[in-house]
Chain A
Amino acid sequence: MTEDLHEITVTLNGASRTATAPARRLLSDFLRHDLRETGTHVGCEHGVCGCCTMLLDGEPVRSCLVFAVSVDGRTLTTVEGLAATDGTLHPVQQALQDNHGLQCGFCTPGFVMSACGFLADNPDPDDDEIRDGMAGNLCRCTGYTGILAAVKQAAGALRGSGTDPRSRYQPEPAAPAPEVGP
């Protein structure tokens, strides 16, 4: 039996993207195999590890527990959609680097996306709320202390700048060069 293929269009990090895939294609695999965007990592494929977390219409979901065909026409944000166009890291990414929140980096895209969704929901969390909010993501090398510190730092930075944690980072424009006298 040949499998039916479905044409699936999503808005991925602001751009419309289309590919055809069978109905059983997981959203995580649709991103990686069909759209060739490999920032999203695939760990356990049954919803335990959180590596494949991405934002679906602004809310973090496990992309290994969603069929791509189910979300035809919807909006996705992945880890590729956060850093500024000039490469400046998003405050959540920068905070993970500053706080030694990653070693191998395999789990990191999932943590980043969970943190962005969590901080949009709760911009000023206490330590327990951060722990609860990030509990669905597993890290097997760095451990959680640096990650929790990073989320706390990012919360402060994002509150200060007033930006939606789920949108692409736009760094403050650099101060204009001092006028050179005649």
Chain B
Amino acid sequence: MKPAAFAYHAPRSVDEALATLAELGSDGKVLAGGQSLIPLLNMRLAAPAALVDIERLDTLDTIEVDDDEVRVGARVRHAALHRHAGAAAAVPLLRQALGWVAHPVIRNRGTSLGSIVHADPAAELPAVLALLDGRVEVASADGTRTVAAGELFLGPLEADVRTGELALAAVFPRPAPGTGSAFVELSRRHGDYALAGAAVTVTLDADRHVTAARAAFIGVSDTPAVVDLTAALRGQPGDGLDHAAARELADASYDPDDDIHATAAYRRHLAGVLLGRGLDAAAADAAQEEAT
């Protein structure tokens, strides 16, 4: 339960970090909050030759909120984003989802962007980014590029952040006016990885009828399964949604596996039940949004 030896690099600037990562090539691995990586190192499921620790890159510890989006730097801890009133007002789904991320003590150390690029299929924030059509900004010694959420998640624990690259920020667009959101999940014990869960948005018109609805599921597919449910729900009253057609539509978007925690059939059932709860909660949130 002790990590294998590694060479340690603690750059003082982003440029220094990128130069170090370029030099290390495939030997280098970025260490951010470490709440997923260090368990893997302790159990020797991973043994990178070198770690590039971004602990001292304070310039990446920023949350910026503007009229269009919330930009979260690579050093921002879950707890800081969870507490941030401006981020919660602009993109309420962030606070709704972050309360489900592990335990408070883990959230004090783990970073939100780290969780996204770690790309665990049961993690909450990848689903939030995918549902909102967000993006991740990455940099290397050769320059920067932007990866849309739809292209970011390649497979379980695999994101499109390449050798020599450092993810700098995650960008979460504000939802359209009249949109409410919810995050729902079920785990065996509070704080465990979810058996299944969903991030949901519902948009209502002035008469409180549905004009758009989307969900992103976790725990039931290799990457967040995003499905547009508008066709199944359009025109329905927000306070009396018929979930059946939406559940059927969503059901075709994922293909869960059996494991020791739950059967595939149970996970599939659970995803449908959670979707119903999430839709009702998001519609109620949208109605409240309209009222204020």
Please report the C-alpha to C-alpha distance between residue A135 and residue B31 in the assembled complex, in whole angstroms: 26
**Given the interface contacts A23-B7, A132-B190, does A60 sit within 8 Å of B108 by beta carbon?**
yes
Cross-interface CB contact of B104 among A69, A70, A118, cutoff 8 Å: A118
- Contact of B38 with A61 in the complex, beta carbons under 8 Å: no
Query: Do the beta carbons of A66 and B109 come within 8 Å of each other?
Result: yes
Supposing A24-B4, A46-B1, A65-B109 touch, asked if A136 and B39 sit within 8 A by C-beta, the answer is no
> Contact at A70–B55, with CB atoms within 8 Å?
yes
> B191 an interface residue at 8 Å Cβ cutoff?
yes
Q: How many residues of A contact B (CB 8 A)?
A: 34
Most chain B Cβ neighbours within 10 Å, of A45, A47, A61, A66: A47
User: Chain A residues with Cβ under 8 A from B34's Cβ?
Assistant: 65-67, 70
Chain B nearest CB, measured from A33 CB (Å): 11
With both beta carbons as reference points, the residue of chain B lying nearest to A74 in the complex is identified as B55
B residues near A65, Cβ cutoff 8 Å:
34-35, 38-39, 106, 109
Main secondary structure of the interface of A (DSSP, over half): mixed
Interface residue A22 (Cβ < 8 Å from any Cβ of B): yes
A61: B residues at CB distance < 8 A: 105, 108-109
Q: Is the CB of A135 within 8 A of B191?
A: yes
CB distance from A121 to the nearest CB of B (A): 8
A133 at the interface (CB under 8 A from B): yes
Closest to B3 in A: A24
Residue in chain A with minimal CB distance to B190: A135
Q: Which residue of A lies closest to B40 (CB)?
A: A46
Inter-chain contacts of A121 with B (CB < 8 A): 104
Chain B interface residue bracket vs A: 20 to 34
Q: Chain B nearest CB: distance from A110 CB in Å?
A: 9
Among B31, B38, B104, B190, the residue within 8 A (CB) of A47 is: B38
Check if A112 is an interface residue, CB within 8 A of chain B. no
How would residues 33 to 54 of chain A score, 1 for a CB under 8 Å from any chain B CB and 0 otherwise?
A: 0000000000001110010010
Please state if B106 and A62 are interface contacts (CB–CB under 8 Å).
Answer: yes
Cβ of A136 and Cβ of B102 under 8 Å apart?
yes
What per-residue 1/0 map shows which CB atoms of A120-153 lie under 8 Å from chain B? 0100000000001101100000000000000000
- Interface check B269, CB cutoff 8 A: no
Assess A24 versus B109: contact at CB under 8 Å? Given A136-B102, A136-B104: no
Q: Are B103 and A135 in contact (CB under 8 A)?
A: yes
Complex Cα–Cα for A74 and B246 (A): 51
Residue-wise, chain A 66-88 has the 8 Å CB interface mask toward B (1 for contact) of 11011100000000000000000
Interface residues of A, Cβ cutoff 8 Å to B: 1, 3-4, 6, 22-24, 26, 29, 45-47, 50, 53, 56, 59-62, 64-67, 69-71, 114, 117-118, 121, 132-133, 135-136
